[in-house]
Amino acid sequence: MNLQAPFQSPARAADPREARRQIREGLHTGHTAGLAPGYLQGNLVILPAEHALDFFRFCQRNPKPCPLVGVSDTGNPDLFTLGTDVDIRTDVPSYNIFRDGVLTESVPDIKALWGEDSVAFVIGCSFTFEQALVTDGIRLRHWDDDTTVSMYRTSIQTTPAGPFRGEMVVSMRPMTMANAIKAAAITARFPHAHGAPVHIGDPAQIGIADIAKPDFGDPTPIEDGEVPVFWACGVTPQRTVLEAKLPLVITHTPGHMLVTDIPGYEAGGG
Amino acid sequence: MNLQAPFQSPARAADPREARRQIREGLHTGHTAGLAPGYLQGNLVILPAEHALDFFRFCQRNPKPCPLVGVSDTGNPDLFTLGTDVDIRTDVPSYNIFRDGVLTESVPDIKALWGEDSVAFVIGCSFTFEQALVTDGIRLRHWDDDTTVSMYRTSIQTTPAGPFRGEMVVSMRPMTMANAIKAAAITARFPHAHGAPVHIGDPAQIGIADIAKPDFGDPTPIEDGEVPVFWACGVTPQRTVLEAKLPLVITHTPGHMLVTDIPGYEAGGG
């Protein structure tokens, strides 16, 4: 996820409704990191209804990489379960359009593409738990260095549903083992933001040959006394959907999420 | 839920695969309380595919009354995500058949009714968290008295999806406030078994006029020093589906659940 696009916003809105208004009116076109802190942000996948039931199953069967936080009615762009006046056609700063699995363009709204049979899925993302880790005193190297988190393909297989299948993609954050244990306990409280780690330590055990060479994002040096900690990553459902090569799939542009009205902690509650 | 049917089983199987084998072969026809202790049991709702996407949404939007633990592929009776060799046509001791919202019969298998377009939804139930409460020393009056838990219609509205809507049904267990606080913390760890309570104390606040007159189940006396503790109840999705008056809906017969291979604690994990 490229989080390094320059800020293009009058000011980082603290209120999620104000953030969406700025996005909708074209006043905020950059990434959403730091917008409406404490509110859940989500990844977006829009599919035609004929594939929605299988994708719903895929998310239900793979909750760590695909923690569903909201699903639209068919053809209705109002995601009323995620906030007041959320129009999924306009309220994400940038959308990626994929045809037959190939990225054809990035656009600032999808008014022309949303149809009667469109279904929008919003999936929790790691912003939520990263905020909790930093609040609890665990430093994140990619925050300190302003890089994109390291992501890797693994040998962990997802549970398939219809055309959706494939390996899990994970993100990696290096830290001391003491912090890894603490981070496991903290993130377990956020099942809607990928939950507890899927692995700590030896990358080879989950099929990662070279930790210095991530498949996505930037490399992250692992310093003496640190272990790599791996979490299921929201890139998993995106890759899965693209590899199914559907005629039309719409996602958010990486880093440009939907800002919801849901407090981050609420989504993790019991 | 009528849990008072006599045991009709050669022995209470401790292993979930053995429990399902006995059920499949007609050796166990009674309720499933106490079968395969420690393994998650589930409520069952089977719908035609045309209504499956809306019911999936209803469950996603109302996770406390409708905690989904598994969903079949369309037309495939093998619920492979819930265990080894689970055949949803035969592995529940008794099924209720509803036509246009009316119970027409209870049958020991649904081989003749399962079709190419059938989709089975399995929803977590309170057995899981009740075991945890009792293990942690909280006595449950309906266990001690061998009655059915008290259930009530409330003024709490579910979030609708397509034809599925209506009020939440809750179950009630009386206990001291000290135990209620402990029970809230314990059940919060079981989001797949209705999670934390939806209310503690004054029944009128959730629209219950007379706590002595449950809408379903048996009355449960509240003794001096006790408060009523309310949890979202799996009767909610059943009532919702029946009130939609679909031509054919199949559920488990109350108390006669699907026994899965999922350890109870795992389903509650992060």
Query: What pLDDT was estimated at residue A106?
Result: 96
Q: Is the pLDDT of residue B10 over 80?
A: no
Query: What pLDDT was estimated at residue B79?
Result: 97
Find the helix or strand (DSSP H, E) in which A110 lies.
none
Q: What is the pLDDT of residues A91-150, one digit of tens each?
A: 999 999 999 999 999 999 999 999 999 999 999 988 878 888 998 899 999 888 888 899
Query: What pLDDT was estimated at residue A10?
Result: 56
Q: What is the pLDDT of residues B157-211, one digit of tens each?
A: 999 999 999 999 999 999 999 999 999 999 998 888 899 999 999 999 999 999 9
Residues B209 and B263 in one domain: no
Query: What residue in B sits closest to A120 (Cα-Cα)?
Result: B57
B6 found inside a domain: no
Number of compact structural domains in chain B: 2
Q: What is the pLDDT of residues B111-149, one digit of tens each?
A: 999 999 999 999 998 887 888 899 889 999 988 888 889
Q: Do B159 and A81 touch (CB under 8 A)?
A: yes
**Residue B178: partners with Cβ closer than 8 Å, 6 or more residues away:** none
Q: The complex's ipTM?
A: 0.87
Q: In DSSP terms, which residues pair with A144 in a beta bridge?
A: none
- Give percent of chain A with pLDDT exceeding 90: 76
Query: What pLDDT was estimated at residue B265?
Result: 52
Q: CA-to-CA distance for B236 and B223, rounded, in angstroms? A: 27
**Residue B239: partners with Cβ closer than 8 Å, 6 or more residues away:** B166, B169
Q: CA-to-CA distance for A97 and A242, rounded, in angstroms? A: 11
Rg (CA), chain A: 18
Greater confidence (A71 vs B192) lies with A71
Among A159, A190, A270, the residue with its CB nearest the CB of B195 is A270
Residues B189 and B57 in one domain: no
Query: What pLDDT was estimated at residue A269?
Result: 34
Q: In DSSP terms, which residues pair with B122 in a beta bridge?
A: B44, B70
Residues A77 and A165 in one domain: no
Residues A66 and A105 in one domain: yes
Residues A105 and A204 in one domain: no
Query: What pLDDT was estimated at residue B160?
Result: 97
Q: What is the pLDDT of residues A160-206, one digit of tens each?
A: 999 999 999 999 999 999 999 999 999 998 888 899 999 999 999 99
Q: Is the pLDDT of residue A213 over 90?
A: yes
A4 found inside a domain: no
Among B53, B187, B190, the residue with its CB nearest the CB of A56 is B53
**Mean pLDDT computed over every residue of chain B:** 91
A3 found inside a domain: no
Select from A131, A2, A110, A129 the least CA-distant residue to A47: A110
B1 found inside a domain: no
Q: Is the pLDDT of residue B267 over 50?
A: no
Query: What pLDDT was estimated at residue A265?
Result: 52
| Chain B residue numbers touching A196 (CB-CB < 8 A) | 269-270
Query: What pLDDT was estimated at residue B19?
Result: 95
Say whether residue A195 is in contact with chain B using an 8 A CB cutoff: yes
A231 found inside a domain: yes
Q: Is the pLDDT of residue A20 over 90?
A: yes
Domain that holds residue B141: 127-236
Q: CA-to-CA distance for B208 and B169, rounded, in angstroms? A: 10
The two counts, helices (H) then strands (E), for chain A are 7, 11
Best interface-test mutation with A: which of B54, B62, B73 has the largest number of A CBs within 10 A?
A: B73
Q: How far is A186 from chain B (nearest CA, A)?
A: 10
Q: Do B187 and A52 touch (CB under 8 A)?
A: no
Query: What pLDDT was estimated at residue B4?
Result: 42
Q: Do A191 and B56 touch (CB under 8 A)?
A: no
Query: What pLDDT was estimated at residue A56?
Result: 98
CATH number (domain holding residue A73): 3.40.1640.10
Q: Do B270 and A73 touch (CB under 8 A)?
A: no
B9 found inside a domain: no
DSSP annotation of B89 reads T
CATH number (domain holding residue A201): 3.30.2040.10
Find the helix or strand (DSSP H, E) in which A164 lies.
none
Helix (H, G, I), strand (E, B) or coil at A125: coil
Per-residue confidence band for A11, with pLDDT thresholds at 50, 70 and 90: low
Query: What is the torsion angle, in degrees rounded to the nearest 10, for the CA atoms of residue A11, residue A17, residue A22 and residue A28?
Result: 60
Contact indicator for B66, B43 with CB cutoff of 8 Å: no
Greater confidence (A9 vs A123) lies with A123
Q: How far is B131 from chain A (nearest CA, A)?
A: 17
Residues A32 and A43 in one domain: yes
Q: Rounded to a whole number, what is the distance in angstroms from the first to the last CA of chain B?
A: 30
Positions of E strands within A216-257: 226-232, 249-252
Query: What pLDDT was estimated at residue A91?
Result: 97
- Give percent of chain A with pLDDT exceeding 70: 94
Establish, for the pair of chains A and B, how many residue pairs have beta carbons separated by less than 8 Å: 55
**Residue A235: partners with Cβ closer than 8 Å, 6 or more residues away:** A1, A151, A169, A216
Q: What is the pLDDT of residues B16-50, one digit of tens each?
A: 999 999 999 999 998 888 789 889 999 999 999 99
Q: CA-to-CA distance for B33 and B146, rounded, in angstroms? A: 11
Per-residue confidence band for A33, with pLDDT thresholds at 50, 70 and 90: confident
Contact indicator for A222, A174 with CB cutoff of 8 Å: yes
Query: What pLDDT was estimated at residue A2?
Result: 44
A156 found inside a domain: yes
- CA A119 to chain centroid, in Å, comes to 18
Here the contacts of A106-112 (C-beta below 8 Å, separation 24 or greater) are A106/A253, A108/A26, A108/A29, A110/A46, A110/A250
Query: What pLDDT was estimated at residue A191?
Result: 86
Q: CA-to-CA distance for B71 and B56, rounded, in angstroms? A: 9
Select from A66, A94, A58 the least CA-distant residue to A234: A66
- CA B186 to chain centroid, in Å, comes to 18
Say whether residue A177 is in contact with chain B using an 8 A CB cutoff: no
Residues A132 and A184 in one domain: yes
Residues B23 and B109 in one domain: yes
